[in-house]
């Protein structure tokens, strides 16, 4: 659905025309029907990439294809929906008028436009505000109408730049559900974000972009499976005396509350031994939680790396 | 269809803007003032009303053309509303043309409303309806189309403030191109002559659209002059808009 090859983008800023490199040869692919999360810290070049893909900026090097067509072929735009970062809309239009304009730009017929607009406003929970001017919308409402307009043409490929930003937890959940719903309908979704927990839940694959370079790409599982279980947290009770102090020595840290103790072990083996010791000494294990390294750890690691 | 959608949207944009209304309000005020002034002066009242009103319609029209015209594209870039538009299946030329036509439509309504008020005042105070001045109004509208197109052109590559200055300069110089040509003929310096001639040929000759004095004094306006001026204006508009599209096509949006 999306393919880029050696995509480069340079800006000249200020009076001295200083060079800012936003993308250093980005090569990646988003496959049909997948939800692809495009991660990266602030200033990594995510928005720049999306702008290039949407024809809003021209790359200074490399090439990209949308649905197998080069970017110069704008005919594929009719099958694409796009939500820009921090979207601004025509604030003098009402929500309904804005949806209508969006539909017109896709050349949709009157009836189809009205029906689709109603459906989408309903889906993003804005039907009550359809005759309200967009200048009176809150940030979250703007984000929602942005998502609604991106879907007006029932797109095959949906490109969203930080769709969760500015939304409360309920709104974020709604957006997650919308994305998963789109996926169920066979659509491809490519979105950028820094909200990592959401990514783990909904993405088939992710790419991590740092300072204009793609540092990692793959399924969430692949990316973090290479990394071992980081630590194990065990809570137990009814162990006392010498056995307790042995356990305390094995653990990297313990917290005792009444008869219950929570110990953290740095490797699974130590945790295994400790488990047996608790059993042998007649104690009871209340919980045993392995902490895997998360996408967040990987993200932090990649961002921290100097290359 | 898509051009039409953008044009209608632009029409709404301007019409729902308070600044537009205050400009129209002041223009109407000027019309009223011209009637008052005419009662204070000697001479033919109707001529004074006609003269002042036509000039007022033109000046405020030019102000709207320039200030709204440069904002057309610039506001979209600044507010990033253009992202949503350009990412949809619409060509950049369609967008630019739609914006232009939208403002042209606003100007048409403006000129129509102003002219209606002006004719009404004139009829109230003099019992005459000088239909001939409608020709002057028509050419004022064509002139506004040219000024708007140039405002759009400047705004495709320059900042709002600079664009406004350029467009204003173009308007002023455009009314002096005849003088410049005379100056070119007189000057001995080859370089200066080349520059003056260049300006004469490339800047619009806006004085061509000025038949206010002639209509007010009831001098005949040949039909072919009218038609020539209109075609000249429209061709100029097309040329400027084409150039704007060429520039706009290459732009990156921040
Ligand atoms: N129009 C521009 N002119 C100059 N530099 C730019 C421009 N747009 C982006 N940049 C630079 O390119 C780099 C990447 O910016 P980009 O907006 O793509 O980051 P991002 O990954 O979207 O960040 P964020 O998470 O903050 O949205 C930044 O260093 C930014 O300063
Ligand atoms: Mg961004």
pLDDT digits (tens, 9 = 90+) for A202-247: 999 999 999 999 988 988 877 776 665 678 888 988 887 888 888 8
- Give me the sheet containing A80-83, strands edge to edge: A80-83, A157-161, A188-193, A35-39, A205-210, A213-219
What is the mean predicted confidence (pLDDT) over A143-159? 94
Confidence at residue A231, expressed as pLDDT on a 0 to 100 scale: 80
Classify residue A303: in a domain, yes or no: no
> Ligand nearest A40 Cα, by number?
1
Range(s) of the domain holding residue A242: 229-293
From B1, B88, B252, residue closest to A77, measured CB to CB: B88
| A84 CA from centroid of ligand 1 (Å) | 13
Q: With beta carbons less than 8 A apart as the criterion, state whether A71 and A52 touch.
A: yes
Contact call for B89 and A77, based on CB within 8 A:
yes
Statement: residue A307 has pLDDT above 60: no
Same domain, A237 and A102: no
- Residues in chain A closer than 8 A to B250 (CB atoms): 58
Residue A258 belongs to a domain: yes
Q: Are A94 and A38 in contact (CB under 8 A)?
A: no
Q: Does the pLDDT of residue A33 top 70, yes or no?
A: yes
Over residues B98-103, mean pLDDT = 96
**CATH code of residue A107:** 3.40.50.300
Does residue A207 line the site of ligand 1, with CB under 6 A?
no
Percent of chain A with pLDDT over 90: 47
Given this model, what pLDDT does residue B133 score?
85
Among A299, A300, A46, A1, CA closest to A193: A46
Residue nearest to atom 26 of ligand 1 (CA): A42
Domain tally for chain A?
2
β-strand partners of A159: A82, A190
Distance, CA of A148 to CA of A250 (rounded, Å): 55
Characterize the bridge pairing of strands A157-161 and A260-265.
unpaired
Q: Are residues A215 and A247 in the same domain?
A: no
Q: Which residues contact A208 (CB under 8 A, 6 or more apart)?
A: A39, A40, A214, A215, A216, A217, A223, A298, A299, A302
| Cβ–ligand 1 contact at A11 (below 6 Å) | yes
pLDDT tens-digit profile of B166-212? 999 999 988 887 777 777 777 777 888 888 777 777 888 888 888 88
A305 inside domain: no
Are A211 and A125 found together in one domain? Answer: yes
Same domain, A113 and A161: yes
Residues in A closer than 8 angstroms to B95, CB to CB, are none
Question: What 3-state class would DSSP assign to A11?
Answer: strand
Same domain, A241 and A289: yes
A35/A158 Cα distance (integer angstroms): 10
Which candidate, B36, B57, B2, places its Cα nearest to that of B215?
B57
Residues A134, A245, single domain; the answer is: no
Contact assignment for A90 to B85 by CB distance below 8 Å: no
Same domain, A247 and A164: no
- Nearest Cα to B9, choosing from A214, A120, A93? A93
Assess whether A209 and A243 both reside in one domain. Answer: no
How many angstroms is it from B92 CA to the middle of ligand 2?
A: 24
pLDDT of A306 over the 70 cut? no
Q: Which of A52, A84, A86, A88 is nearest to A71 (CA)?
A: A52
Give residue A22 CA to ligand 1 midpoint distance, Å. Answer: 6
CATH of the domain at A243: 3.30.70
A42 lines ligand 1 (CB under 6 A): yes
Q: Does one domain contain both A214 and A252?
A: no
Find the CB nearest B83 among A84, A97, A105: A84
| Pocket-testing residue among A16, A20, A21, ligand 1, by greatest number of atoms within 8 A of Cβ | A20
Q: Give contacts of B 214-253 with A, CB under 8 A.
A: 250, 252-253
Establish if A71 touches chain B: CB-CB under 8 angstroms. Answer: no
CA distance A7 to A4: 6
The answer to whether residue A15 sits within a structural domain is yes
CB-CB neighbours of A126 under 10 Å: 20
Q: Is B91 on the interface with A (CB under 8 A)?
A: yes
Q: Are A8 and A213 in contact (CB under 8 A)?
A: no
Mean pLDDT for A45-49 is: 94
> Do A217 and A28 touch, CB atoms closer than 8 A?
yes
Return d(Cα B92, Cα B110) in angstroms, integer. 27
Token reading at B125: 């105070």
List pLDDT tens digits, range B118-136: 888 888 887 878 788 888 9
The pLDDT of residue A227: 60
Last residue of a domain, one of A197, A224, A251: A224
- B158 — contact with chain A (CB < 8 Å)? no
- End-to-end alpha-carbon separation of chain B, Å? 28
Same domain, A160 and A260: no
Answer yes or no: do A186 and A152 share one domain.
yes
Quote the tokens at residue B8: 């209608």
Is the CB of A84 less than 8 angstroms away from the CB of B252?
Answer: no
Mean pLDDT of A95-119: 94
Is residue A99 located within the same domain as residue A21? yes
């Amino acid at each position: 659905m999306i393919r880029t090859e050696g995509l480069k983008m340079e800006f000249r800023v200020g009076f001295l025309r200083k060079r800012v490199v936003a993308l250093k040869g980005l090569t990646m692919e988003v496959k049909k029907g997948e939800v692809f999360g495009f991660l990266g810290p602030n200033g990594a070049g995510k928005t720049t990439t999306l702008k290039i893909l949407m024809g809003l900026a021209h790359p200074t090097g490399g090439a990209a294809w949308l649905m197998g067509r080069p970017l110069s072929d704008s005919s594929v735009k009719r099958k694409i929906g796009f939500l820009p970062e921090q979207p601004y809309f025509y604030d003098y239009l009402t929500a309904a008028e804005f949806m209508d304009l969006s539909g017109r730009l896709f050349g949709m017929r009157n009836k189809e436009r009205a029906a689709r607009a109603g459906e989408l406003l309903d889906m993003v929970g804005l039907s009550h505000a359809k005759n309200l001017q967009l200048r009176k919308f809150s940030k979250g409402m703007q984000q929602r109408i942005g998502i609604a307009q991106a879907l007006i043409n029932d797109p095959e490929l949906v490109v969203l730049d930080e769709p969760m930003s500015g939304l409360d937890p309920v709104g974020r959940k709604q957006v997650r559900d919308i994305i998963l719903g789109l996926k169920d309908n066979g659509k491809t979704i490519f979105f950028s974000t820094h909200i990592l927990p959401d990514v783990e839940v909904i993405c088939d694959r992710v790419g991590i972009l740092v300072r204009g370079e793609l540092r990692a790409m793959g399924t969430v599982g692949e990316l973090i499976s290479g990394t071992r279980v980081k630590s194990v947290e065990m809570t137990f009770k009814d162990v006392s005396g010498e056995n307790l102090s042995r356990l305390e020595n094995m653990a990297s840290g313990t917290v005792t509350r009444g008869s219950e103790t929570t110990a953290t072990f740095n490797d699974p083996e130590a945790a295994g031994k400790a488990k047996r010791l608790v059993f042998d000494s007649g104690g009871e294990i209340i919980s045993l939680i392995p902490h895997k390294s998360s996408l967040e750890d990987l993200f932090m690691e990649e961002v921290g790396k100097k290359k | 269809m898509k051009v039409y959608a953008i044009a209608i949207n632009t029409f709404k944009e301007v019409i729902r803007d308070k600044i537009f209304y205050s400009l129209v309000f002041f223009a109407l005020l000027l019309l009223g003032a011209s009637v008052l002034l005419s009662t204070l002066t000697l001479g033919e009242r109707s001529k004074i009303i006609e003269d002042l009103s036509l000039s007022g319609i033109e000046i405020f029209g030019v102000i709207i053309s320039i200030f709204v015209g440069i904002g057309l594209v610039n506001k979209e870039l600044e507010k990033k509303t253009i992202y949503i538009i350009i990412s949809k299946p619409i060509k950049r030329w369609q967008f630019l043309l739609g914006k232009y036509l939208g403002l042209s439509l606003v100007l048409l309504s403006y000129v129509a409303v102003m002219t209606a008020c002006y004719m009404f005042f004139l009829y109230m105070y003099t019992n005459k309806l000088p239909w001939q001045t409608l020709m002057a109004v028509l050419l004022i509208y064509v002139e506004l189309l040219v000024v708007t197109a140039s405002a759009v052109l400047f705004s495709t590559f320059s900042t709002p403030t600079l664009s406004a200055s350029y467009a204003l300069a173009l308007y002023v110089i455009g009314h002096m191109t005849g003088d410049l040509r005379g100056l070119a003929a007189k000057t001995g310096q080859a370089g200066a002559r080349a520059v003056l001639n260049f300006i004469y040929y490339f800047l619009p000759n806006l004085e061509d659209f000025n038949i206010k004095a002639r209509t007010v004094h009831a001098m005949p306006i040949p039909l072919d002059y009218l038609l020539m001026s209109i075609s000249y204006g429209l061709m100029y508009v097309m040329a400027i808009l084409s150039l704007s599209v060429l520039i706009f096509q290459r732009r990156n949006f921040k």
